[in-house]
């Protein structure tokens, strides 16, 4: 059963702690993305990766870090430098290449920082 998985669905952390959100896909997609969703603001791109061992900053990368050591995995670390980390985080993947492709989204992780 192909798809994207994110875990956990809900995550609680204390202020000042780093936290890593997982994202795994078995769709054999080269490209992966992390978005943040806040009420009324749609989806904002945090980081994206077009290929293994390479990634680029999106529109709101400050306070976040990523790695892409495997094609299937694109974990996101929310660091203590992120001023307002409480949000809904969505991971997505797509085929890469010159053509524009649809993105497949995971179920999301709702992070609450107390």
Residue-by-residue DSSP string for 85-97: --EEEEEEEE--S
> Looking only at residues 6 through 65 of this chain, which bind other proteins when binding is defined by CB under 8 A?
31, 33, 35, 40-45, 48, 50, 56, 58-59
Minimum Å gap between C-beta 57 and other proteins is 10
Distance CA(42)–CA(90), nearest Å, equals: 11
Give the nearer residue to other proteins in terms of CB position, either 82 or 94. Answer: 94
Whether residue 109 contacts residue 10, with contact meaning beta carbons closer than 8 Å, is answered with: yes
- Minimum distance from residue 97 beta carbon to other proteins (Å): 9
CA angle 107, 39, 87 (to 5 degrees): 55
Residues within the interface to other proteins (CB under 8 A): 31, 33, 35, 40-45, 48, 50, 56, 58-59, 90, 92, 94, 96, 100-108
């Amino acid at each position: 059963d192909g798809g994207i998985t994110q875990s956990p669905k809900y995550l609680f952390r204390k202020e000042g702690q780093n936290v890593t959100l997982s994202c795994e896909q078995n769709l054999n997609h080269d490209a992966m993305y992390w978005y943040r969703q806040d009420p009324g603001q749609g989806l904002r791109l945090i980081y994206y990766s077009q290929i293994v061992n390479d990634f680029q900053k999106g529109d709101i990368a400050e306070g976040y870090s990523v790695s892409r050591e495997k094609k299937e995995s694109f974990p996101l670390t929310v660091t203590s430098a992120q001023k307002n980390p409480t949000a809904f985080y969505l991971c997505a993947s797509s085929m890469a290449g010159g053509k524009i492709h649809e993105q497949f989204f995971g179920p999301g992780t709702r992070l609450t920082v107390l």
